[in-house]
A and B are shown apart, each in its own frame.
Chain A
Amino acid sequence: MNRRASGIVRSLFRYAAVVFACLLALFPIYWMFSTSIKLPDEWVATPSVWFPSKPVLINYQFIFSGSYEYLIGRRPEEATQFYSFAWSSMKPIFDSLILSTFGTLIALFAGTLSAYALSRYGPKGAPPPVFPLMYRMFPPVAIIVPVVIMYATLKLTDTYPGIIILYSTLTVPLVLWLMKSFFDEIPREIDEAAILDGCSLFGAFYRGVLPLVKAGLAVTGLFIFMLDWSDFMGVLLLGGRNVVTIPLKLAEYTSGHGELYGPMAAMGTIAVIPPLIFGILIQKYLVRGFTFGAIKG
C-alpha cells in the first residue's frame, strides 16, 4: 500500500513538472498569438492584458489587405505610413516561400548526390565531411565581406538567384551528413544486386537506392526548408529591397514602426506556422537533423 501511494505521488510529481515545462514552452508563443488578436490599446498596457478582452482579426486583415479600421482617428501622415506598411506585407510571405523552396531543392540535389558518393565510395570523390562541417560552424557574418564583394561584382546582390545560392550553400553540408546517414542504413547489397542485374552505377543509385530513401529525402527536405525559412542574416546582408523575407520584415518593424505590436505579432504568427507544422511532422528525426546525423534518435 505504502509503495503504491509513493508511486502515485511520484507520478503526480512527474505530471506537475511536465505540465510546468509545457507551460513555459508554450507561454511565449501564446503571448505572440494573443497579441496578434488583441485590439491596439491592449498590445502594451499596464498591467498587461493576459487574455484579449475581445479577440479580433484586424491585425491579420491589416497585414493582408491594409484594412482601414486602423486609420480612423489617426493623423494623415501616420495614416500614410501605416498604409505603405500594410501594402508591402504580402511580398515577404511570397519571398520566403520562393527562396526556401528553391534553396531547399538545390541543396537537396547537390547534397544527396555527394552523400551517395560518400556513403558508397568513401571520401575520395566527394568533399571530405569535415570541410562542410566547418561551413555549418562559421558565423555567416564572418565570411560575408568577400561574399558581398563577389555578389556586387556578379550583380547577384538582392536577387532571388543570389539568395537561393547562399541558402543552398549554407545548408548543403547538413544535407550531406543527413542523407549520408540515411544511405548508410541501406545495405550495399541493394546496389550490388542492381549492378549484377545490368544497371549502370547511376541506375543502381536512381532505381535501386533512391526509392528506398524517399522518406529520408522528405525529412531532410522539410528540415532544410525549416532552416531556410528561419534565415535572417542572409537576407539582412544580401537582400533588403527586392528580396524581403518575413523575418527581415519583422526586423524592419522593430526599428521603424515600434508601436505596431499587433500586426507584428500577426506576422510572427504566420512566420512560425510552417516550421511548427513541419517540425512536428519530422519530430522523430529532429535530433538527427540537428546533430548532423550523429544521433539517430
Chain B
Amino acid sequence: MDLNNPKTFTRLFGLPMSALLYFLGVFPLALEVYVSLTDWYPIGGQQYFWDSRFIGLGNFVEYFQDPLFGGSILRTVIVVVVAISLEFVFGLILALLFMDRFRGKTIFTSIVLLPMMTVPAVTGYIFRMLFLYAGPVNDALSAIAGTRVSVGWLTSAWPALTSVILMDVWQWTPLMFLILLSGLLALPQDPINAAYVLGASKWQAFRHIMLPMMKPIILVGLVIRTMDAIKIFDGVFLMTHGGPGYSTQTLSLFLYEIGFKYMRLGYTAAMALTVLVCLALFTRYVAIKPLKPKV
C-alpha cells in the first residue's frame, strides 16, 4: 500500500467517516426496507423481526388511510410554515436593528443569541412552566388586559399548537437573525449608495436593492430552518407530549408513539421510509442548491 498515492490516501482518510455512515446509515436503511414490508409487532408474540409475516405493501396502503399520520404531517407543516415565517420577519427586523454600529452592540448580540444555545429539551420544559394555567404568560396577559385572563395554553388544542410555535420562534429566531445579519453585512455598498444618490427612500433601497441581493442568504436560512423544524421533537415532547389529545403531535412524535408506545414496528418502518424518501428528495433537489455554491 503506497500512502503517498493520493488515491489510497483519500480512501484511507475517508474510511472512519464512511464506516460510521455505513454502520448507522446504509445498513439500517436496508433493514428498514425489509421491516416495512412486514407486520412486525413484538408484543404480539413476534419477538424478532424475522418471526414476522411478510405482508407486501400492506403498511403503505394502511397509512394512506390513517388520519393520525396525515394529521401529524399537517400539524408539522403548520408549525414549520408559521414558525419559520415569524422567525424570518423577526429575524429580519433584528438584523436591520443590528446592522449599524452602536454602543453595546456586542453584549446585546450575545444576549439575543442565548435562546439558540439553550438545550431544546430544556426550552420545552421552560415553556411548559411559562404556559401553565397559573404561569407568567397568563399573568402578563392579565396585566395587559386589565382583567384575569386564564387561557389553558397546554390543555386546549389551538393554544397548545400556538405555544409550540412560540417556543420554536423563541428558540430559533436568533439563528435566522444571525444568518440574515451576515447577509446584510456582506452586501456591497455601491448599489445601495447609488440608489440613494438617485433619490431612493430607505424603504425603496431596502425593498428593491438589498432584499433581492440577499436572496441566496435568505434561501440558506429558510432551507436550514426547514430542515431542522421538520424534525421538531424534543421541545414538544417535554412541553405537551403531543397533547392535549393529538393536537400538537408532530411527525416525529407520531412516529415515536406508534413505534415505541404501541410497538407497531413494521408499520412505523413503512411510514418512516416514506418520510425518509421524501426528505431525501427534498435535500437532493431543493436543500443542496442554496448550500452548494458557497461550499
Binding site for B on A (CB under 8 A): 11, 14-15, 17-18, 21-22, 24-26, 28-29, 31-32, 35, 44-48, 50, 106, 109-111, 113-114, 116-118, 121, 124-127, 129-147, 149-150, 165-166, 168-169, 172, 176-177, 180-181, 200-202, 226, 229-230, 232-233, 236-237, 246-247, 250-251, 254-255, 261, 264-265, 268, 271-272, 275-276, 278-280, 283, 286-287, 290-297
Partner of B260, one of A46, A237, A255: A237
Chain A residues contacting B241 (CB-CB under 8 Å) are: 254-255
- CA distance in complex: A89, B135 (Å): 26
Chain A residues contacting B224 (CB-CB under 8 Å) are: 290-292
23 residue pairs bridging A and B, Cβ less than 8 Å apart:
A17-B97, A18-B98, A25-B112, A44-B132, A50-B136, A117-B9, A124-B7, A139-B279, A146-B28, A149-B28, A149-B35, A169-B23, A172-B17, A233-B252, A247-B234, A250-B125, A271-B121, A275-B118, A279-B116, A280-B110, A287-B179, A294-B291, A295-B179
- CA distance in complex: A180, B16 (Å): 16
Chain B residues contacting A48 (CB-CB under 8 Å) are: 134-136, 139
A126 B14 Cβ-Cβ under 8 A: yes
B11 A145 Cβ-Cβ under 8 A: no
A173 to chain B, nearest CB (A): 8
Chain A residues contacting B273 (CB-CB under 8 Å) are: 142
B115 A25 Cβ-Cβ under 8 A: yes
CB closest residue in chain A, given B181 = A287
Beyond A45-B134, A139-B251, is A127–B233 a contact (Cβ under 8 Å)?
Answer: no
- CA distance in complex: A3, B222 (Å): 38
- CA distance in complex: A295, B214 (Å): 12
Chief secondary structure at chain B's binding surface: helix
B114 contacts the other chain (Cβ, under 8 Å)? yes
B31 A254 Cβ-Cβ under 8 A: no
Chain B residues contacting A247 (CB-CB under 8 Å) are: 119, 121-122, 234, 238
- CA distance in complex: A132, B283 (Å): 11
List which B112-142 residues lie within 8 A (CB) of chain A: 112-123, 125-130, 132, 134-136, 139, 142
Chain B residues contacting A147 (CB-CB under 8 Å) are: 24, 28
Beyond A25-B112, A126-B14, A280-B110, is A169–B234 a contact (Cβ under 8 Å)?
Answer: no
Partner of B175, one of A117, A177, A202, A290: A290
A165 B182 Cβ-Cβ under 8 A: no
B237 contacts the other chain (Cβ, under 8 Å)? yes
A145 B269 Cβ-Cβ under 8 A: yes
B252 A146 Cβ-Cβ under 8 A: no
- Pick from B25, B122, B265, B269 the residue with the most CB of A within 10 Å: B122
B6 contacts the other chain (Cβ, under 8 Å)? yes
B17 A111 Cβ-Cβ under 8 A: yes
- CA distance in complex: A129, B224 (Å): 15
- CA distance in complex: A168, B17 (Å): 9
Chain B residues contacting A25 (CB-CB under 8 Å) are: 111-115, 170, 174
- CA distance in complex: A141, B254 (Å): 10
- CA distance in complex: A62, B282 (Å): 48
Beyond A28-B123, A250-B238, is A150–B117 a contact (Cβ under 8 Å)?
Answer: no
B200 contacts the other chain (Cβ, under 8 Å)? no
A232 B121 Cβ-Cβ under 8 A: yes
Chain A residues contacting B280 (CB-CB under 8 Å) are: 134, 137-138
A27 to chain B, nearest CB (A): 8
A51 to chain B, nearest CB (A): 11
Beyond A22-B112, A250-B122, is A125–B234 a contact (Cβ under 8 Å)?
Answer: no
A256 to chain B, nearest CB (A): 13
A38 to chain B, nearest CB (A): 11
Chain B residues contacting A232 (CB-CB under 8 Å) are: 119-121, 233-234, 237-238
Q: Could you list 10 further interchain pairs (A-B, Cβ under 8 angstroms) beyond the known A110-B17, A139-B255, A276-B117? A: A47-B139, A113-B14, A126-B14, A127-B18, A142-B273, A229-B119, A233-B233, A254-B241, A279-B113, A291-B221
B130 A145 Cβ-Cβ under 8 A: no
B272 contacts the other chain (Cβ, under 8 Å)? yes
A133 to chain B, nearest CB (A): 6
B108 to chain A, nearest CB (A): 5
B276 contacts the other chain (Cβ, under 8 Å)? yes
B227 contacts the other chain (Cβ, under 8 Å)? yes
Beyond A35-B129, A145-B269, A275-B119, is A294–B13 a contact (Cβ under 8 Å)?
Answer: no
Chain B residues contacting A15 (CB-CB under 8 Å) are: 102
B74 contacts the other chain (Cβ, under 8 Å)? no
B20 A276 Cβ-Cβ under 8 A: no
- CA distance in complex: A247, B121 (Å): 6
- CA distance in complex: A237, B282 (Å): 26
Beyond A134-B280, A139-B230, A286-B178, is A251–B237 a contact (Cβ under 8 Å)?
Answer: yes
B24 A31 Cβ-Cβ under 8 A: no
Chain B residues contacting A46 (CB-CB under 8 Å) are: 134
- CA distance in complex: A191, B28 (Å): 38
- CA distance in complex: A36, B94 (Å): 30
B3 contacts the other chain (Cβ, under 8 Å)? yes
- CA distance in complex: A164, B246 (Å): 33
A133 B125 Cβ-Cβ under 8 A: no
B268 contacts the other chain (Cβ, under 8 Å)? yes
CB closest residue in chain B, given A176 = B17
CB closest residue in chain B, given A49 = B136
Beyond A48-B139, A200-B3, is A139–B170 a contact (Cβ under 8 Å)?
Answer: no
Beyond A145-B268, A145-B272, A297-B182, is A24–B170 a contact (Cβ under 8 Å)?
Answer: yes
